[in-house]
Structure 1
């Protein structure tokens, strides 16, 4: 027998093939050639590189149904809100080492809904339309066995409520309506709320729900919602920490004087407590972070005292009793050596030395002072007078009232808050009774105003000077007064300072009051005074060139 050996290098190693032919005394060249051809064919087919195929798709993992925001160029997902009376599925846990909690306030209300983005797997077969996808999502909530009546308080008021029947959305008509509320008879476990120009929201329901309060977010605009969190009772002023990672809220009607919240995640960090003797009167109004001292100051108007805390630990440091009555706004000099306090009832402005923590003197104003701002050279103090339409100009060296600039002589426009725009060298003042924001030049000339929503409160200029943000409380309750929820949510107005026009507005909740912008200009936060909420939004970049110059 003649043996022909062939070796081939294969991916698995060296492989030997032994091919044998039985000899009959004749070695045909044709036989040898045929054997070589067969071996070569085997080697080629064994060593060929396999064709690669991508793995099969596992399906869509996010339900994308909304139209894109114009400036984001990305798709939205439907937003799900928990009902007012429903217990949130994810609670915000405070970080360790909180300050001792006071006795529960009898004024507290139950926490309201939790807002979260729906990001669940889509069905294996993707519905043919957004409506069908909404319908599919609604059917994942189990319906009740019997119909029950649920009251809705939704803004904007021109909205639709829909449930699902297969792949179809069905509009539900209200059984009755009165003022800001409408009653619906429902079996559905969730409803879709939509309105022209707004992002639809899915709201889950339970058999225990009696009142649903919600607002819709605009499809486009400079503000994109991040989230909201419940606060203590009647949150008043809002102030970002210098690093922009947290913020502080003064609680007007609560035993807890001051609360601190982190931004990422949006959660409460700690509570700041005043000594027991001051807690019962509440009345905590405005805050001030003292430059270079890691201190946060808080006014308590009901006790005529300024409380001082360690900003980083929450430790109570000291209280400064002032001669003025009903102290409110605090303003520090650039070097932090002096703090000025506007005192409402005494119509005075108090000056405090921050090193000794003692009052030095007080100035008389022309009326009820509230917001304050310095002149660019730091030599004068401008105070907004709530009891008129005036702005007081006070010489800080002599304490003399140099002038009162009246926007509308003889009229009470309730000048509340004042900020300085260093890019345009002018002041902006919210006129609460007029529903306007006034413009005042450095030399005391009135330059005009913007019409905004009812009861403008706090305003703030973005760090790049491109926009002015204004919180507007909305109409007072005509039947029970401003300390009760009105018949319309308040609003946040955005004024484009480059074009000089009102750019946009969004819904707040019940009486948006305090407002601040993060130091990097990326976030806007505001308090809802009667909803007991803190809301956080991301600010998109202005499409126009930002302001330049200034001091």
Structure 2
């Protein structure tokens, strides 16, 4: 059984989510200024979603956007959460797949007709057919003999999904445990690496090493942990403080990491396990690399902003205003569009990225 402290932490987190401030429905006011070489954001529209949208994903070739929604409560039955499919060009809702509490979405790198999403309050990873609009499997992230919390369908709360396309595996971080591994083709549960830090979040696989962003707060230190995927043993720990959240690879040696409670992003050398430098960005949550790999987009959910950061110059070039509590973030593969979910407003904003233009507030 989990300790009272752990269960209380989850309960308090849910209360914070449910008691978030009311959102303004007005679209952001954006003016334009031409600055060569910098992508500027032109607001297209704000699209309503189900409650508490977590992540947003563009399809690489179809006119579709996918949004995973937590829903309003930690209900025991399917209903409050969802996967929603929108038409990118119009904002029209095309399809809604019920979930208990959908968290992260991931497009299959080897098959663009498949999407995975984590359902936090069912302890499952769902493989979804985007062509026929149907569930292909629901994969458990725990052993059959693990009991759920009383009156619920969960024990570990899956979050981020990291694909290993070579070995056909999905690594899944679990808010209340460690990391689970499932077969991406069949959904078969392979193994679980039990808790090795507090609140694992972002993941990155490099050969037999899994880099795990450990959020920490309020139950432990913020850490970057390297885990051996063969033995399950911890290779190293880097205590960062704050709360590391997401990691994005930008080269064969470097990655970018967001640290929400420290208000920083890091340039991280994963071959050395060391932080090269940091940049103040406010409450850095999701980070997304521009397809050209010159810029990174960082959403700051404490100030309702997205920052466009030059990786080479290592500075914020411009900001984009969002709705309240920006959470999910994605850029289309062709670099033409940017989407951000407004967690407290049940909506997402869609922008067109104009190369050579900058948005000024």
Q: TM-score, normalised by structure 1?
A: 0.53
Residue pairs, 1:233-244, within 5 angstroms? 233-243=51-61
Corresponding residue of 1:216: 29
Corresponding residue of 1:351: 181
Counterparts in 2 of 1:306 and 1:521: CA distance versus 1, 3 Å: same
Corresponding residue of 2:77: none
Residue pairs, 1:206-355, within 5 angstroms? 213-220=26-33, 222-243=40-61, 245-253=63-71, 255-274=80-99, 282-293=100-111, 294-323=113-142, 325-335=156-166, 337-346=168-177, 348-355=178-185
Q: Give CA-to-partner distance per residue, 1:89-115, whole Å, 9 cap, x none.
A: xxxxxxxxxxxxxxxxxx9xx9985xx
Instruction: Report SS of the residue matched to 1:257.
Output: strand
Counterparts in 2 of 1:528 and 1:435: CA distance versus 1, 3 Å: same
Residue pairs, 1:445-456, within 5 angstroms? 445-453=274-282, 455-456=283-284
CA distance in 2, matches of 1:300, 1:341: 11
Decide whether the 8 Å contact of 1:327 with 1:342 is kept in 2: yes
Alpha-carbon distance, 1:431 to partner: 0.8
Corresponding residue of 1:386: 215
CA distance in 2, matches of 1:494, 1:258: 28
Decide whether the 8 Å contact of 1:392 with 1:403 is kept in 2: yes
2:328 matched to 1:510? no
Residue pairs, 1:517-532, within 5 angstroms? 517-532=331-346
Aligned match of 2:205 in 368, 374, 378? Answer: 374
Structure 2 unpaired stretches of 5+: 1-18, 73-79, 143-154
Alpha-carbon distance, 1:227 to partner: 1.8
Aligned length: 307
CA distance in 2, matches of 1:414, 1:112: 28
Alpha-carbon distance, 1:344 to partner: 0.9
Decide whether the 8 Å contact of 2:23 with 2:323 is kept in 1: no
> Could you say which structure has the larger radius of gyration?
1
CA distance in 1, matches of 2:61, 2:266: 31
Decide whether the 8 Å contact of 1:466 with 1:496 is kept in 2: yes
Alpha-carbon RMSD across the aligned residues, in angstroms, is 2.4
Alpha-carbon distance, 1:244 to partner: 5.3
Instruction: Report SS of the residue matched to 2:312.
Output: coil
Q: TM-score, normalised by structure 2?
A: 0.79
CA distance in 2, matches of 1:366, 1:519: 34
CA distance in 1, matches of 2:355, 2:345: 29
Higher RCO by CA contacts (8 Å cutoff, separation 6 or greater)? 2
Corresponding residue of 2:236: 403
CA distance in 1, matches of 2:107, 2:166: 12
Alpha-carbon distance, 1:459 to partner: 0.3
Corresponding residue of 1:362: 192
Q: Give CA-to-partner distance per residue, 1:164-200, whole Å, 9 cap, x none.
A: xxxxxxxxxxxxxxxxxxxxxxxxxxxxxxxxxxxxx
